[in-house]
Chain A
Amino acid sequence: MITPETISMLTYAPTLVTPVTPQDHILGLVDAPVVLVEYGDYECPYCKAAQPVVKSVLATMGDDLALVFRHFPLSNIHPFAWKAAEAAEAAGAQDMFWEYHDVLFENQPALDVRHLIAYADELDLDVERFADELTRDVHSRRVHEDFRGGILSGVNGTPTFFVNGVRYDGDRDAASLLRALRAAMS
Chain B
Amino acid sequence: MIDLPESGSEIPAGNIAPDFTLPTTPDSNVSLKSYRGRPVVLVFYPADWSPVCSDQLSLYQAALSEFQQYNAQLLGISVDGVWCHMAFARNRGYQFPLVSDFHPKGVVAQTYGVYRDSDGMSERALFVIDPEGTITWSYVSPINVNPGADGILRALDLMQAHVGR
A interface vs B, CB < 8 Å? 1-2, 4, 6-7, 9-11, 14, 73-77, 147-148, 151-157
Contact = CB atoms under 8 A, between A and B. Distances in A.
Contacts of A151: 59, 63, 66, 148-150, 153
Contact of A156 (B59, B139, B158): B59
Contact of A76 (B14, B62, B159): B62
A155 B92 contact: no
Given A76-B94, A156-B145, 5 more contacts: A2-B13, A10-B158, A151-B59, A153-B150, A157-B59
Nearest to B56: A156
A6 B150 contact: no
Interface string B27-70: 00000000000000000000000000011101101110010000
B110 interface: no
A155 B149 CA distance: 8
B155 interface: yes
B154 interface: yes
6 contacts: A2-B13, A2-B137, A7-B137, A10-B137, A156-B145, A156-B146
B55 A10 contact: no
Contacts of A74: 58-59, 61-62
B162 A2 contact: yes
B145 to A, nearest CB: 8
Contacts of A4: 13-14
Contact of A154 (B58, B92, B150): B150
Contacts of B151: 10-11
Contacts, number: 67
A6 B154 CA distance: 10
Interface string B1-29: 00000000000011000000000000000
B55 A14 contact: no
B146 A2 contact: no
Nearest to A169: B145
Contact of B139 (A2, A6, A11, A155): A11
A76 B153 contact: no
A77 B62 CA distance: 10
Contacts of B93: 76-77
B13 A7 contact: yes
Contacts of B139: 10-11
A154 B162 contact: no
B13 A76 contact: no
A6 B93 CA distance: 35
A10 B58 contact: no
B55 A157 contact: yes
A152 B59 CA distance: 12
A29 B159 CA distance: 41
Given A10-B137, A77-B58, A155 B148 contact: yes
Nearest to B148: A156
